[in-house]
């Protein structure tokens, strides 16, 4: 019952999409030069040969698909990667290998999805995590294109919400040929909701290479920092910057030259964070306006896109945001792969498995407030052996948890073989 209603509503709203997208573009949430892609118009020609379409919602999901992109190219596929955010488009545009291209995903309205599929004609559709868009799934299924959900996850909260609409979610999941979940718990929840074929194969994000860094920029920032003690609060959300600033003030009593890096999850917040730091009596510098790190700089705000790999390489102590003032946490795998000790708050539900592994084996430390954050940072700074041991454990643990890409490619062999036979 809900599927026809949803489809009718999407069709009815489609004519107003131009205004909707334009208003989002005015807020920086859409690329105004590429709005046509959101309505299914292609900016590029379809490449010759077999085409795999991979979709992830945003930066994290898109980057997690990179190991799979490379393996599919190795199997002779051209690869199209779609995401829905401006930031993900910029980052993937820089990191996709030859043989892969990025487009914005079409809005989930039947005419836009049909236009997209008519142009790209994918042979395989792979979507990441929990991107279950009804009209898109139905349209792809109707064209007999195999659908695989990879890195699938379903939180208890989302599971409870979907259980209120059992027929709707069962019908949608029934159109997915194969669900490859991050954990046994995710797999069990998907099975209960009606997914026909489910397996737990681990998290693709463990297989992603650390983000790159420009060597010249790294050398320049390292020169400006010099021998100063430094730590980084990464992917912070509103409220966490003030906690980091409180911790900074406490720590400067013992480490007068301390430099705190704040890297907000949403870079447009940079100026407000500068104002907050200055209101706290601290000298702050803003990367987006080219401020250098001076000997008197106490707080440096990394409000740029695509430089997280640069920031992660500057310090062996990283606090991951959205875990103290936010909920769900942020992915700690990238800094862990680069050999950093990880600090985080208690709210880590979106990455519970990796944080549990890191916490239980000495690669990460939980903090509950600004005072605790300062105390744990001081313990790491005061004991280089403890810091090195924690950082090495962090790197080792995430290395041991990899291998999901191999399992996904093995699961896809059946569909790839069928394509080869049908095209001969």
Could you give the residue numbers annotated as active site? 61
CA atoms lying within 13 Å on the CB side of residue 307: 21
Check if the beta carbon of residue 332 is closer than 8 Å to that of residue 344. Answer: yes
CA distance 401 to 424: 38
Using CA atoms, how far apart are residues 310 and 214, in angstroms rounded to an integer?
Answer: 7
Pairing between β-strand 178-181 and β-strand 147-152 as defined by DSSP bridges: parallel
Spatial CB neighbours of 166, under 8 Å, sequence gap ≥ 6: 193, 194
Q: List the 299-301 sheet strands across, edge first.
A: 284-286, 299-301, 259-264, 230-236, 317-320, 341-344, 364-366
Number of Cβ within a 10 Å radius of residue 281: 9
CA 253 from centroid of its chain's CA atoms:
36
As a whole number of angstroms, the distance between CA 110 and CA 116 comes to 10
Q: Which residues in 115-129 are b (16+ Cβ under 10 Å) and which e?
A: bbbeebebbbbbbbb
Place of tokens 């290395």: 399
Which of the 8 DSSP states describes residue 208? S
* DSSP for 245-272, written as a single string: HHHHHHHTTT-TT-EEEEEESSGGGHHH
């Amino acid at each position: 019952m809900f599927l026809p209603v949803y489809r009718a509503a999407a069709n009815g709203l489609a004519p107003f999409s131009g205004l909707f997208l334009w208003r989002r573009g005015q807020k920086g949430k859409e690329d105004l030069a590429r709005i046509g892609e959101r309505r299914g118009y292609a900016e590029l020609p379809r490449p010759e040969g077999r085409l795999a379409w991979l979709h992830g919602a945003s930066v994290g999901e898109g980057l997690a698909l990179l190991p799979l992109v490379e393996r599919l190219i190795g199997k002779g596929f051209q690869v199209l990667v779609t995401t829905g955010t401006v930031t993900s488009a910029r980052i993937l545009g820089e990191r996709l290998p030859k043989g892969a291209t990025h487009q914005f995903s079409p809005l989930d309205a039947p005419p836009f999805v049909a236009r997209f599929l008519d142009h790209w004609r994918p042979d395989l559709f792979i979507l990441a995590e929990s991107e279950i868009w009804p009209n898109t799934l139905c349209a792809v299924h109707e064209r007999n294109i195999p659908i695989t959900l990879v890195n699938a996850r379903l939180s208890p909260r989302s599971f409870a919400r979907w259980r209120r609409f059992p027929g709707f979610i069962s019908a949608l999941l029934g159109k997915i040929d194969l669900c490859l979940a991050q954990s046994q718990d995710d797999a069990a929840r998907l099975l209960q909701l009606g997914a026909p074929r489910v397996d737990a194969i681990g998290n693709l994000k463990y297989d992603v290479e650390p983000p790159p860094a420009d060597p010249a920029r790294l050398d320049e920032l390292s020169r400006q920092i010099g021998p100063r003690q430094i730590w980084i609060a990464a992917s912070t959300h509103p409220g966490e910057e003030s906690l980091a600033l409180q911790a900074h003030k406490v720590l400067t009593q013992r480490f007068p030259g301390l430099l705190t890096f704040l890297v907000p999850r949403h870079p447009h917040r940079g100026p407000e964070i500068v104002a907050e730091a200055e209101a706290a009596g601290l000298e702050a510098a803003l990367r987006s306006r080219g401020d250098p790190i001076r000997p008197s700089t106490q707080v440096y705000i990394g409000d740029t896109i695509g430089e997280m790999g640069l920031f992660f390489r500057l310090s062996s102590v990283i606090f991951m945001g959205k875990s103290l003032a936010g909920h769900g946490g942020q992915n700690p795998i990238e800094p862990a792969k680069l050999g950093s000790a990880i600090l985080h708050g208690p709210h880590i539900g979106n990455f519970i498995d990796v944080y549990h592994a890191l916490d239980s084996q000495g690669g990460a430390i939980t903090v509950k407030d600004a005072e605790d954050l300062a105390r744990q940072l001081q313990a790491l700074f005061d004991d280089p052996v403890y810091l090195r041991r924690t950082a090495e454990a962090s790197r080792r643990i995430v290395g041991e948890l990899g291998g999901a890409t191999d399992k996904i490619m093995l699961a896809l062999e059946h569909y790839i073989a069928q394509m080869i036979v049908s095209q001969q």
